[in-house]
Amino acid sequence: MLSTMQDTPLSIAQLLRHGSTVHGDAEVVTWTGAGTRRRSYAEVGRRCAQLSHALRTLGVTGDERVATFMWNNAEHLEAYLAVPSMGAVLHTLNIRLFPEQLVHVANHAEDHIVIVDATLLPLLTPQLPQLTTVKHLIVTGDSADGVEAPDSVQVHSYEALLADQPTEFDWPEVDERSAAAMCYTSGTTGDPKGVAYSHRSIYLHSMQVCMTDGPALKQGDRALAVVPQFHAMSWGLPYAAFMIGASLIMPDRFLQPEPLAALIAAEQPTFAAAVPTIWQGLHQYLEQHPQDISCMHDVLIGGSAVPPSLMHTFEDDHDIQVLHAWGMTETSPLGSVARPPAGTEGEERWRYRYTQGRFPASVQARLVDDLGEILPHDGNSVGELEVRGPWIAAAYYGVDAPDKFHDGWLRTGDVGTITPDGYLTLTDRTKDIIKSGGEWISSVDLENAVMGHPDVIEAAVIGVPDAKWDERPLVAVVLREGSGATVDTLREFLSDKVAKWQLPENWTVINEVPKTSVGKFDKKRLRSQYHDGDLEVTRI
Ligand code: ADP
């Protein structure tokens, strides 16, 4: 029997209509380095209509890809909302990709238009001759005069294009399963691959971002979106903010600790999201320049494992609750969130908060071993995490990747355990696991333990070849300036925190752990530095 219910499509246009009217007074605030630019959601709504009219005049009539090469700011938000609402597909280009990767993804997605921030032109224009499908470049910020582009590419100024366009648009009704936006993985473990999100998946994911036991973004929040709009959709914050009426605080290109601290002081965000390295940097800065940042009631951290020491520091020194979350580009990106069960207290509560968290009802998770057998959720059995659900990718755009999917489940490449009450603890990525004498050593556990030392700023652990054990861990560690710690004292510090056979004997002190385009530890680069003999390794 069919239901008797209406079947109205879930769409980005619905979020845009709702946010710009019901929450028309909410605002997007963009940091300029010296102050702010402010725009109400009502105004954003009018400008989205103008942008859509302008894009129509440039030949966007169907599902053409409109790419962005931008920082987090008001104009990027307008592209996020307008492009899918008019039926086209937003493609967020990662500004930190290597040139050849950038060319690959723009051509692969067949981008028709690129909206580019004037400050990023030097990174984009040298590649333009190779972007074979791009017909228009729309420049935000400074004037578009004098931009060097091949004859096949017309250059426009964003503001001039919008200026005389009508401020209303008759948003088409789109099939909720059609693509709204696409994003390529950052290529941490291979070539970037494209994920095409649907209107439906983004809508449902936005609801999850606002769920009480999820990130719980709510009406009236002022959300500091440090997570870039050019990677993993800024963790869904722009769409969720329009859904719920939370204002957005956008740092633009000012991502260093000092301007971030100034932005926090000026705008008093109540909610924030970023990868661990951003918060590590901010904390170090605040040690020298004390400032009250407790306006932020929740700080969502994910993208890589959050060291427990960082969570405690934020709670003890800044009165901020860190909310640990797991996700990936392929999962829109929100997967699990570590809100402890009601009624837990003290140490037990902390232990839940250290995990990668629980999955919402919409996302199913399972663990699978090397032979494809499903493992129990007993908190001990270690296997690869597989997930399925309405905002989880079922395939990549235009490439076959059979090894990434398994009977309708996404193989995440992450390895860990799940407890009977559903809490995920990741021990590694499959590619980072250290196999020592037939046993697995978790690089994440070792990193967390080393980072618990007060003199350690960063620690990344990789497996290196070993004649006796096949592989042993190498700890690359960044020490606080003036620290008296040595690799011997660090090893001693670990001695009661990890099993004896796991204690690393290979150490290297470095100035900075190499980072990926989105600020995660780049273990691929660390490994090649090791193999090229660029690391000075001490063997204890
Ligand atoms: P890329 O795969 O290119 O790094 P993603 O941003 O999609 O780009 O990365 C997703 C991966 O990040 C996950 O598969 C996982 O390995 C890692 N990750 C995300 N959140 C966490 C977390 N809370 N703890 C540990 N690892 C995480």
Residues 306, 299: Cα–Cα separation, whole Å: 12
What digits encode the pLDDT tens for the residues 415-433? 999 999 999 999 999 889 9
Q: Would the pLDDT of 531 be above 90?
A: yes
In a domain, 395, yes or no: no
| pLDDT confidence tier of residue 270, bands split at 50, 70 and 90 | very high
Report if residue 394 sits inside a domain: no
Number of domains in the chain: 2
Domain edge (last residue) among 199, 234, 262: 199
Protein residues with CB under 6 Å of any ligand 1 atom: 185-188, 232, 302-305, 324-329, 356, 412-414, 426, 429, 520
Mean pLDDT across the chain: 96
Beta bridge partners of 4: none
461 pLDDT more than 90:
yes
The residue contributing the CA closest to ligand 1 atom 24 is 305
342 by Cβ neighbours in 10 Å (0-12 / 13-18 / 19+) ranks as exposed
Q: Quote the pLDDT of residue 188.
A: 63
Candidate from 328, 363, 520 with most ligand 1 atoms within 8 A of CB, to mutate: 328
Q: With respect to residue 518, please indicate whether it lies within any of the assigned structural domains.
A: yes
Q: How far from 33 is each of 212, 283, 287, CA to CA, in Å?
A: 34, 20, 22
Q: What is the pLDDT of residue 518?
A: 84
90 DSSP β-pair partners: 66, 181
| Final residue before a domain boundary, out of 169, 199, 229 | 199
Angstrom distance (rounded) from CA 226 to CA 72: 8
311 belongs to a structural domain: no
Residue 471, domain CATH: 3.30.300.30
The answer to the question of residue 480 being in a domain is yes
For residue 489, the enclosing domain spans 434-539
Residue 301 in any domain: the answer is no
Our answer to whether residue 440 is catalytic in this structure is yes
Q: Is the dihedral of CA 123, 126, 132, 136 positive or negative?
A: positive
Q: Nearest C-alpha to atom 21 of ligand 1 is from which residue?
A: 304
Name the DSSP class of 297: S
Contacts of 395 (CB under 8 A, 6+ apart): 401, 405
> Long-range contacts: 122-128, Cβ < 8 Å, 24+?
123/69, 123/95, 124/69, 125/149, 126/99, 127/99, 127/102, 127/103, 128/153
Q: What is the pLDDT of residues 475-521, one digit of tens each?
A: 999 999 999 999 999 999 999 999 999 999 999 999 999 998 888 89
From 27, 78, 330, 447, the catalytic residue: 330
pLDDT band at 143 (very low <50, low <70, confident <90, very high): confident
C-alpha–C-alpha distance, residues 53 and 351, integer Å: 52
pLDDT digit string, tens, across residues 40-57: 999 999 999 999 999 999
Q: Which of 538, 476, 488, 537 is nearest to 512 (CA)?
A: 476
What is the pLDDT, as a whole number, of residue 144?
82
d(CA 514, CA 506): 18
On the question of a cis peptide bond just before residue 192, with omega within 30 degrees of 0, the verdict is no
Please give the Cα distance from 69 to 321 (Å, whole number). Answer: 32
Domain CATH for 138: 3.40.50.12780
Probe residue for ligand 1, chosen from 97, 234, 311, 326 as the CB with the greatest number of ligand atoms within 8 Å: 326
- Name the amino acid, one letter, at 197: Y
Q: How far is the CA of 289 from the centre of ligand 1 (A)?
A: 31
Which of 150, 176, 199 finishes a domain? 199
Residue 531, both tokens: 């193999």
Answer yes or no: 497 catalytic: no
Question: CA angle 7-182-413, nearest 5°?
Answer: 100
Instruction: Kindly state the average pLDDT of the residues 524-539.
Output: 95
Please check whether residue 212 lies inside any domain of the structure: no
CA–centroid distance, 277 to ligand 1, in Å, is 13
Which of 435, 439, 489, 492 is an active site residue? 435
The answer to whether residue 330 is catalytic is yes
Q: What's the confidence (pLDDT) of residue 189?
A: 61
Q: Parallel, antiparallel, or unpaired for β 111-117 and 154-157?
A: unpaired
User: Which of 509, 380, 501, 527 is CA-nearest to residue 450?
Assistant: 509
Instruction: Choose among 277, 314, 283, 281: nearest CA to 299.
Output: 314
**Distance from the alpha carbon of residue 46 to the mean position of ligand 1, in angstroms:** 36
Distance in Å, CA 304 to ligand 1 centroid: 5
* Partners of 538 in beta bridges: 507
* pLDDT average, residue stretch 518-526: 91
Helix (H, G, I), strand (E, B) or coil at 210: coil
Q: Mean pLDDT across the stretch 306-329?
A: 96
Percent of the chain with pLDDT strictly greater than 70: 99
- State pTM to two decimals: 0.94
Residue closest to 104 by CA, chosen among 179, 184, 182 = 184
Q: Is residue 178 part of a domain?
A: yes
Q: Which of 440, 471, 497, 505 is catalytic?
A: 440
Query: How many Å lie between the centroid of ligand 1 and the Cα of residue 392?
Result: 14
Sign of CA dihedral 415, 417, 423, 425: negative
Residue whose CA is closest, atom 9 of ligand 1?
A: 328
Over residues 157-204, the pLDDT tens digits come to: 999 999 999 999 999 999 999 999 999 997 666 679 999 999 999 999
